[in-house]
């Protein structure tokens, strides 16, 4: 199947004339596709059919938590009353403010945090915000710290976010059991440590059993403990970062709270903190008094990390999801996510080096190339897991089925895993063959970047 | 109501069989969490039926007052055709993720490739990424880009003294971890004071940022000079704009822009309480320093054209702390909506819409100026969508009274309001003028 | 605005080239219409932008008063889950047509096959078609079916004296071209007067029609007797019901129903101003006399299971005037929505919903009976969803006053109202009772 | 691709206990699929992807007018204010009544009719209604007529509808030029003629040029002239049935006015009549007085043909379409529909025996089997035309591209036509091979009907 580019269907040109502006203030013309509504409807319908999604089948990308996105949350986000401008007065936007206030509260309860900002527009933005808050906190204490300690197995964004905030990153090697190596941690921590960033369960699904001790160690050197919320779906109702000694955390609402991933975004990355850090959260925050909601700036705030209040519509959907599930639903989501991961791993002819895992596990493709195995899995009609990451697991296949799969689809998924592994090297190298496109030349794409239809035309 | 997640499909029998298969007595035993940090599961959050949850949300949102908004200043929207809502909601788009397996995600990749191409056309620059969070973070990323690409030792970022607070604050935060400093240059009757800017520019400047239209809606007249001025001191010229303005105003490449940032969500999204889509385009030579994702065309094993994410070695998941940005989850779905909206408009529709942004603002300003004690536009410039209004009476009181009449406008200062008109509120300008008359 | 259809993609150049290709000077010359019947094209209808057309419609519809409706009597609705709206709107379903090419329409065929299967389960009868227009036309088609399948010379159709006007009138029209006659039998306290019916039944009867629940909401208690009675005179027993009632009340097959008709649109559709979905199920022996489309399972050339429209020789496009019905375009998409809704509920959800229809009606009737001058239910029967209320004061005045309070109920006669409760209005029963108290 | 039946995914059984009713009034249990929302979302998403639609590509079914269905019409039909019960008082349903009233007016203008009912829920129901009106009219004149004359080439529904109303059908053979044979017509008409039912342009797209004379002949014997609106998309703005002498007509709003076909329905089949017949239209009709709308029953009315007011939501969409297009849009739709048919025919290596056609044409597959050619066209990625009908054209391929195709898609369609015709008999017989299902055994399906999953289980 092949769908021409819009520009190949009809390239049109509109000259700028009869302009209400002097000529020197305008461009000459605009060249863009000029197509009618039926043509566009077909274009995008066909393209959509060339795209895998959660509603296509299993999507077990480790660390991505590809849950089902309830359609009613789209309805509520499409409510015309939600479509308001951010510069309205609080008096005329009480609905929006109330919803934000309550979502702050929901998230605080779920994470065991004292205060929450909803402003960061993605998980990585949440990390950056959290680290800025840590920095502001230390600075307010006249405490100049230069390092953020991060386990080697952490999400790449942790490193990038810490670096963006101006910190030197101290990488912590993984322990033999796949968890934090306490001796290495002890060695890494110092008076320079601004924070330790941790995911728990970690990126191979293991719970950091020494978390209380870890927290004490970090706090003992005056550092803060940061929780990367990417794996929160493992813990709902079973453990709260705040209770474990974490000072700062972000939530990935597009993971844990089922807002759609949208082909890459938008997500939202609210940040929760313990009360000591609250003064430093981004401005403004929503406050309530006598049933009246208002926006309030704090003097010690780090300021803003987004032009406005973050990804509003995403927050509405997250609120809707939490309001639908409540305690029982959220706890059950985690229970089933963990059960599914364990059940699936049990069906695989793969070694899973690290246990006991929770919502995700890292299988190893052993002497096969994990990326090739993944391509072959495409031919069996499923989306493969995250491959070759985390790096300390050789040929890792990081798999997170989430709670939405039933036993049959887990069995299908296991079949794809096992069948791909049983196929010949040649079959793996030639895979995929039953997909919209066959194996795509990514090296060539990077060597000779063609990033627009204009670039293709220039060929 | 069942106690449990309505989105977990397990029947009781299935759960039992699966527990059996993994050799676990119950679900709780699968959790390897020490007792001292175990949580009892009681958040105190109620569970609700779909209908009750919907009702809760809609009744909460109904507390937003119904207003006709004449608001802009960086967050704009236009009528979104039904087709955009309909097609963007298709689950294959909405519920997919980053295209790590391009062989089964050609659809979204092609849409993003088309989005990039549209921005290439509109900016005149050959490289556009496939989304940033919003205009503010795009500007901030541009500043960081300038820090990476400059050979010179420049560390000064020059920005207009009149700049949206959010943008300034985000910029400050994004450069806090670098040696960059942010300084302002003065404005002259709404636009850049080019002479003053010239005085400030030296070899220490890493980037000059200007906007067209400005936050007050004025259209810059001396962009080429600003571009040359930046060029002379080897600074990047970063131009802030929005996707509709690009359809009419001077092409950024033609005035020497090295980076274009701004809001693309002005098309494709309704008023979104500030949720946006950061556009980011730049020159070829900065390609490997660009933040955010890029989609490129390539070939598959059968020699057919195919699309894929490319140049990923810039990104955090590979380069970690040496990445060009920490951005991972982006605004892809908004970019899809924006691309659909642009495609829906076509070049004629886009140009017409942009022209209307000029003429509607002009005529509304003229109408308001007819009122006693009102002068608009304050700045003797051409305007795009919005303009500042001088009021003899206190601006805050007028805005408050207008609000009671059902209209929202910005208060800029003690005697200045700002009013923004677009196709959405244009049918109500007469009512706005009448309301002004009423409250004056 | 362009003058022309926004849904015709032709650019001017394309139109010119195509005219050229067919050798026509202009579009008009393609029309072979004699001058004397040519029309000038001026209907006097305005063209509008999508937005203006949308605004026109929504402002017109906003003239419907916001009411909480306690209305039923044959048109019922329940909360429709978002999933149904979302998935049924997918263009592949919505914009397809009858499955004349089954190889590329397996998706819809399977949905219809599943719909038929759900009705087979719920009615207990082995053959269900994949939709009629509504309950009234389904009943009327059943009468015509009885005329085709009977060996006997029967021509009398017996229906309840209390029957929805629409059903009766449609039935009369559908049998007008046959030798069938429609006669009524009396009711006893809301239900069939079985003794009276027995007296009326003879060999001239082609079909006996009864409803469960009845139009007054009462639940029949002697269906098996009615079935036997029809059987004894070789008449068909046609049972009218709705898809929710089927989830709880006696299985039609178990009481001897030969044909089941009724409303299936009570699931899958919001209140639709009477738009419905006629369900139609019958016995195997009448298969080749069934009106409407049937989907069957078969195999493709590769031996894989595949679905197809079948037994099409019954239909008008093949058999013309000897077809079992003239129905062609049917309610397939509504059937799809209904099937989705049933699947969403599952057996537990459907049974729960049906039980709620009994208990909610019972408790509302009890509450209303507490009010002075009100007695409910009038009939000493079990009820499903609705019941008749006796009011000492004139019913019409009460209904009118209730309407002013924001509630709609039926007026049945001078001192009788009818009230229908479902999951949709159940949260407002207390307010209804309070309003009753207010207006009495 | 294969998607299991819902029942194969999970068959559940719910016993009826704790019932609020006595046991003897309830069933014992309900057995239905019991699946969660994510499972259902995938089921229906996958099934949708196994279904051709207007948004998939060309859908040139002759006589079906498969136009693009504008998505905004779905939005307006989903307006909560449209979701009202039919038994509301007129006072509280003025919006609905106004919309219906105006749609009656729109349709009257478009057809050149004096009065319109919106009640018939489909085209065939419209035919039946129209014939009942004719019957009532004749009866009111004490005129007992027994025959309806219908050209052999007419839509099958015409025959069935006339027969349902109790009339004998007199079939009129097609003339050599594909139009009404005037001599045969003369012979067929008599004092027994209640009506002549005609499609114009007819089912091979030809305009009945003698329509004025035909009308006179029918009227001369006291009969009425009925217009089958299936082909109205050819005439918009160029000719009106009322001006041609038709007394009764139906409109297929799902054809001419772009309401979605929904996999077979719902449609709507409003009926227009000249003023003399107005008293017989179904009850109730919407009337207006001083801006106030009400429902009115007429004494001479035939009564009802639908339990309520027809397919309300469909009518809303039709109204929206007409309100969007107006005079210019409607006229252009016909112009482009006719242009497209002519352009497409020009590109085909097929004989088109009858000309000049309008919005549709009947090509002939000659010595090939039209149904086989159609199956082969599926392999070329398009939907084929209506085949083997009308019968007087040998191996007919009745093709109606509608106005929504552009030149490129017409060229694609032509390629599919021509390529299929050029393929070998064997290729045709083995077609299709690139589709979800290969050629389906329809004979077997009818011989051994399996109409439910229960029937499959019994196998």
**D66 within some domain:** no
Residue C152 pLDDT > 60: no
Q: Are residues D14 and D131 in the same domain?
A: no
Q: Are residues C172 and C247 in the same domain?
A: yes
Helices (H) and strands (E) in chain D — how many of each? 16, 14
What lies within 8 Å, CB to CB, of D61 at 6+ separation is C97, C100, D383, D385, D386, D398, D400
- The average pLDDT across B103-117 equals 98
Q: Are residues A275 and A423 in the same domain?
A: no
- Structure letter (DSSP) for residue B322: G
Q: Which of A306, A324, A342 is the last residue of a domain?
A: A324
- The average pLDDT across B347-364 equals 98
Q: Are residues B147 and B283 in the same domain?
A: yes
**A56 within some domain:** no
Q: Are residues D252 and D383 in the same domain?
A: no
- The average pLDDT across B232-254 equals 97
Chain C, nearest residue to D384 by Cα: C101
User: Nearest 5 degrees, angle CA B101-CA B269-CA C268?
Assistant: 80
Chain A, nearest residue to C85 by Cα: A71
Q: Which chain A residues have a beta carbon less than 8 Å from that of B81?
A: 37
Chains that touch D (3 or more CB pairs under 8 A): A, B, C
- The average pLDDT across D260-279 equals 98
Q: Are residues C119 and C198 in the same domain?
A: yes
Q: What confidence score (pLDDT) does residue B9 get?
A: 94
Q: Are residues A308 and A346 in the same domain?
A: no
Dist. CA D287–CA B112, nearest whole Å = 53
Q: Are residues D105 and D210 in the same domain?
A: yes
**C418 within some domain:** yes
Q: Are residues B244 and B330 in the same domain?
A: yes
Residue C316 pLDDT > 90: no
Dist. CA C300–CA C105, nearest whole Å = 13
**D41:B9 CB<8 A:** no
**D230 within some domain:** yes
Q: Are C111 and C339 in contact (CB under 8 A)?
A: yes
**B44 within some domain:** no
**A70:C82 CB<8 A:** yes
Q: Which chain D residues have a beta carbon less than 8 Å from that of A40?
A: none
Residue B321 pLDDT > 90: no
Chain D, nearest residue to A69 by Cα: D38
Q: Are residues A128 and A257 in the same domain?
A: yes
Q: What confidence score (pLDDT) does residue D322 get?
A: 98
**A36:C91 CB<8 A:** no
Q: Which chain D residues have a beta carbon less than 8 Å from that of C21?
A: 343, 346-347
List the CATH number of the domain containing C275. 3.40.640.10
Residue C2 pLDDT > 60: no
Convert the pLDDT of each residue in D26-59 to its tens digit. Answer: 999 999 999 999 999 999 999 999 999 999 999 9
For B161, the token pair is: 């003294």
Q: Which of B9, B81, B85 is nearest residue D38 as measured by Cβ atoms?
A: B9
**C1 within some domain:** no
Q: Are residues A222 and A291 in the same domain?
A: yes
Chain A interface residues facing chain C, Cβ-Cβ under 8 Å?
Answer: 10, 12, 34-39, 41, 45, 70-72, 74-75
What's the number of domains chain B is made of?
Answer: 2
**B8:D37 CB<8 A:** no
Range of the domain at C420: 68-79+346-439
Name beta bridge partners: B218: B383
Q: Are residues D263 and D371 in the same domain?
A: no
Q: What confidence score (pLDDT) does residue C3 get?
A: 67
Q: What confidence score (pLDDT) does residue B152 get?
A: 54
Residue A43 pLDDT > 90: yes
Q: What confidence score (pLDDT) does residue D2 get?
A: 83
Q: What confidence score (pLDDT) does residue B314 get?
A: 84
**A406:D39 CB<8 A:** yes
* Residue A37, min C-alpha distance to chain C (Å): 6
Q: What confidence score (pLDDT) does residue B142 get?
A: 97
Q: Which of C339, C358, C373 is the last residue of a domain?
A: C339
Chain A, nearest residue to B121 by Cα: A31
Q: Which of A9, A41, A55 is nearest residue D55 as measured by Cβ atoms?
A: A41
Dist. CA C254–CA C243, nearest whole Å = 16
- The average pLDDT across C86-92 equals 98
List the CATH number of the domain containing D399. 3.90.1150.10
How confident is the prediction for chain B on average, in pLDDT?
Answer: 96
Chain A, nearest residue to D380 by Cα: A1
List the CATH number of the domain containing C353. 3.90.1150.10
DSSP-assigned letters across all residues of A38-68: HHHHHHHHHHHTTB--TTTS---BTTT----
**A449:B294 CB<8 A:** yes
Q: Which of B297, B312, B339 is the last residue of a domain?
A: B339
**C316:D160 CB<8 A:** yes
For A102, the token pair is: 């309550």
Q: Of the candidates C79, C405, C179, C137, which has an alpha carbon nearest to the alpha carbon of residue C291?
A: C137
Q: Which chain C residues have a beta carbon less than 8 Å from that of D244?
A: 37
B273: left (phi over 0), alpha (psi -120 to 50) or beta: left
- Structure letter (DSSP) for residue C373: T
Q: Are residues A245 and A154 in the same domain?
A: yes
Q: What confidence score (pLDDT) does residue B151 get?
A: 56
* Residue B108, min C-alpha distance to chain A (Å): 6
Chain A, nearest residue to B61 by Cα: A95
The β-bridge relationship of strands B236-242 and B259-263 is parallel
**C99 within some domain:** yes
Q: Which of B318, B339, B360 is the last residue of a domain?
A: B339
Q: Are residues B167 and B313 in the same domain?
A: yes
**B36 within some domain:** no
Q: Which chain D residues have a beta carbon less than 8 Å from that of B85?
A: 71, 75
Name beta bridge partners: A199: A228
**B50:C90 CB<8 A:** no
For B390, the token pair is: 């001088």
Element (H, E) at A273: strand A271-273
- The average pLDDT across C375-382 equals 98
Q: Which of A266, A294, A324 is the last residue of a domain?
A: A324
* Residue D150, min C-alpha distance to chain A (Å): 36
Range of the domain at A359: 333-445
**A400 within some domain:** yes
**A101 within some domain:** yes
Q: Are residues B101 and B242 in the same domain?
A: yes
- Please report where in the chains the tokens 């209303």 appear, as a residue: C368
Residue C153 pLDDT > 90: no
Q: Which chain C residues have a beta carbon less than 8 Å from that of A35?
A: 9
Q: Of the candidates A263, A297, A242, A201, which has an alpha carbon nearest to the alpha carbon of residue A54?
A: A263
Q: Which of B170, B340, B410 is nearest residue A305 as measured by Cβ atoms?
A: B170
Q: Are residues C350 and C318 in the same domain?
A: no
Q: Are residues B325 and B386 in the same domain?
A: no
List the CATH number of the domain containing A268. 3.40.640.10
Q: Which of D36, D37, D404 is nearest residue A38 as measured by Cβ atoms?
A: D404
**D160:C5 CB<8 A:** no
Residue C151 pLDDT > 90: no
Convert the pLDDT of each residue in C15-66 to its tens digit. Answer: 999 999 999 999 999 999 999 999 999 999 999 999 999 999 999 999 999 9
Q: Are residues B73 and B88 in the same domain?
A: no
Q: Are residues D415 and D435 in the same domain?
A: yes
Q: Are residues C332 and C385 in the same domain?
A: no
Question: For chain B, what percent of residues have pLDDT higher than 70?
Answer: 98
Rounded to a whole number of angstroms, the CA Rg of chain C reads 25
**D329:C322 CB<8 A:** no
What number of C-beta contacts closer than 8 Å exist between B and C?
Answer: 16
Q: Are residues A317 and A344 in the same domain?
A: no
Helices (H) and strands (E) in chain C — how many of each? 13, 17
Q: Are residues C330 and C291 in the same domain?
A: yes
**A86:B274 CB<8 A:** yes
Q: Which of A31, A53, A127 is nearest residue B96 as measured by Cβ atoms?
A: A53
Q: What confidence score (pLDDT) does residue B1 get?
A: 38
**D308:C275 CB<8 A:** yes
- The average pLDDT across C362-384 equals 97
* Residue C156, min C-alpha distance to chain B (Å): 47
- The average pLDDT across D62-78 equals 97
Chains that touch A (3 or more CB pairs under 8 A): B, C, D
**A36:C85 CB<8 A:** no
Question: For chain A, what percent of residues have pLDDT higher than 90?
Answer: 99
**C426 within some domain:** yes
- The average pLDDT across C81-98 equals 98
Q: Are B187 and B126 in contact (CB under 8 A)?
A: no
User: Nearest 5 degrees, angle CA D372-CA D376-CA D381?
Assistant: 145
**C86:B90 CB<8 A:** no
What lies within 8 Å, CB to CB, of A142 at 6+ separation is none
Q: Are residues B397 and B288 in the same domain?
A: no
**D55:A42 CB<8 A:** yes
Q: Are residues D316 and D354 in the same domain?
A: no
* Interface pTM, i.e. ipTM: 0.97
**C32 within some domain:** no
Convert the pLDDT of each residue in A57-80 to its tens digit. Answer: 999 999 999 999 999 999 999 999
Confidence of residue C1 (pLDDT cuts 50, 70, 90): very low
Dist. CA C117–CA C109, nearest whole Å = 12
* Residue A10, min C-alpha distance to chain C (Å): 10
Residue C375 pLDDT > 70: yes
Confidence of residue D458 (pLDDT cuts 50, 70, 90): confident
Q: Which chain B residues have a beta carbon less than 8 Å from that of D38?
A: 7, 9
What's the number of domains chain D is made of?
Answer: 3
**C23 within some domain:** no
Residue A10 pLDDT > 60: yes
Chain A, nearest residue to D51 by Cα: A49
């Amino acid at each position: 199947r092949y769908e021409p580019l819009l520009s190949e269907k009809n390239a049109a040109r509109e000259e700028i004339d009869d302009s209400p502006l002097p000529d020197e203030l305008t461009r000459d013309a605009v060249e863009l596709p000029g197509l009618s509504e039926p043509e566009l409807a077909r274009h995008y319908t066909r393209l959509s059919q060339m795209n895998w999604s959660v509603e296509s089948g299993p999507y077990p990308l480790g660390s991505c938590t590809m849950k089902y996105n309830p359609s009613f949350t789209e309805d509520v986000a499409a409510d015309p009353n939600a479509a308001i401008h951010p510069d309205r007065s609080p008096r005329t936007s009480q609905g929006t403010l109330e919803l934000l206030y309550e979502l702050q509260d929901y998230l605080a309860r779920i994470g065991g945090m004292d205060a929450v900002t909803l402003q960061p527009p993605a998980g990585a933005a949440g990390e950056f915000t959290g680290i800025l808050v840590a920095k502001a906190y230390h600075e307010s204490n006249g405490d100049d710290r230069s390092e953020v300690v991060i386990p080697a197995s952490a999400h790449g964004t942790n490193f990038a976010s810490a670096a963006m905030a101006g910190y030197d990153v101290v990488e912590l090697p993984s322990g033999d059991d796949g968890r934090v190596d306490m001796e290495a941690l002890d060695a890494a921590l110092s008076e320079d440590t601004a924070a330790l960033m941790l995911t728990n369960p970690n990126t191979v699904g293991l719970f950091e059993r020494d978390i209380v001790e870890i927290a004490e160690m970090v706090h003992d050197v005056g550092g803060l403990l940061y929780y990367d919320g990417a794996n929160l779906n493992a813990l709902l109702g079973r453990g709260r970062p705040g209770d474990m000694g974490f000072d700062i955390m972000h939530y990935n609402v597009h993971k844990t709270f089922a807002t759609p991933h949208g082909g890459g975004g938008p997500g939202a990355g609210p940040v929760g903190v313990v009360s000591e850090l609250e003064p430093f959260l981004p401005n403004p925050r929503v406050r309530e008094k006598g049933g009246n909601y208002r926006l309030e700036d704090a003097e010690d705030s780090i300021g803003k990390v987004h032009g406005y209040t973050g990804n509003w519509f995403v927050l509405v959907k997250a609120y809707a999801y939490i309001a639908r599930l409540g305690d029982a639903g959220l706890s059950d989501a985690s229970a089933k996510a963990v059960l599914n991961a364990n059940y699936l791993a049990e069906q695989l002819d793969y070694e899973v080096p690290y246990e006991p895992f929770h919502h995700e596990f890292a299988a190893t493709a052993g002497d096969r190339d994990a990326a090739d195995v993944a391509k072959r899995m495409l031919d069996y009609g499923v989306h493969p897991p995250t491959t070759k990451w985390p790096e300390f697991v050789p040929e890792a296949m990081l798999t997170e089925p989430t709670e939405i799969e039933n036993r049959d689809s887990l069995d299908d998924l296991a079949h794809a895993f096992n069948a791909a592994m049983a196929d010949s090297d040649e079959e793996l190298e030639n895979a995929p063959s039953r997909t919209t496109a066959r194996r795509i030349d990514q090296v060539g794409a990077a060597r000779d970047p063609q990033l627009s239809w204009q670039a293709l035309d220039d060929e | 109501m069942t106690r449990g997640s309505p989105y977990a499909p397990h029947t009781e029998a299935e759960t039992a069989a699966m527990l059996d298969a993994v050799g676990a007595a119950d679900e709780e035993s699968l959790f390897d969490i020490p007792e001292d940090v175990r949580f009892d599961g009681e958040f105190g959050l109620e569970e609700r039926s779909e209908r009750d949850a919907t009702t809760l949300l809609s009744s909460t949102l109904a507390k937003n007052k119904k207003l006709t908004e004449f608001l802009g200043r960086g967050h704009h929207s236009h009528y979104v055709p039904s087709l955009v809502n309909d097609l963007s909601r298709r689950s294959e788009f909405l519920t997919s993720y980053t295209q790590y397996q391009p062989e089964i995600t050609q659809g979204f990749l092609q849409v993003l490739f088309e989005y990039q191409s549209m921005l290439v056309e509109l900016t005149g620059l050959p490289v556009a990424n496939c989304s940033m969070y919003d205009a503010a973070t795009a500007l901030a990323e541009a500043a960081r880009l300038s820090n990476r690409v400059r050979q010179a030792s420049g560390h000064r970022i020059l920005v207009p003294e009149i700049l949206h607070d959010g943008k300034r604050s985000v910029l400050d935060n994004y450069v806090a971890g670098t040696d960059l400093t942010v300084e302002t240059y003065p404005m002259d009757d709404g636009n850049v004071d080019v002479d003053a800017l010239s005085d400030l520019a030296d070899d220490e400047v890493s980037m000059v940022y200007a906007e067209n239209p400005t936050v007050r809606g004025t259209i810059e007249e001396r962009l080429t000079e600003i571009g040359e001025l930046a060029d002379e001191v080897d600074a990047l010229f970063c131009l802030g704009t929005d996707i509709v303005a690009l359809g009419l105003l001077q092409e950024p490449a033609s005035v020497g822009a090295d980076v274009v940032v701004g809001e693309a969500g002005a098309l494709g999204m309704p008023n979104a309480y500030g949720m946006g889509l950061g556009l980011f385009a730049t020159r070829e030579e900065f390609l490997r320093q660009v933040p955010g994702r890029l989609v490129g065309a390539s070939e598959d094993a059968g020699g057919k054209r195919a699309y894929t994410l490319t140049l990923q070695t810039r990104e955090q998941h590979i380069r970690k702390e040496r990445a060009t940005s920490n951005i991972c989850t982006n605004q892809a779905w908004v970019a899809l909506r924006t691309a659909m909206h642009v495609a829906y408009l076509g070049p004629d529709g886009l140009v017409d819409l942009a022209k209307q942004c000029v003429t509607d603002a002009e005529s509304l300003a003229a109408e308001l100026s007819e009122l006693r004690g009102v002068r608009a536009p304050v700045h003797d410039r051409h305007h795009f969508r919005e303009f500042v209004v001088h009021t003899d009476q206190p601006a805050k009181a007028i805005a408050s009274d207008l609000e009671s009449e059902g209209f929202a406008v910005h208060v800029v200062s003690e005697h200045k309001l700002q009013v923004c008109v677009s196709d959405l509120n244009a049918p109500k300008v007469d009512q706005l003028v009448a309301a002004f008359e009423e409250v004056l």
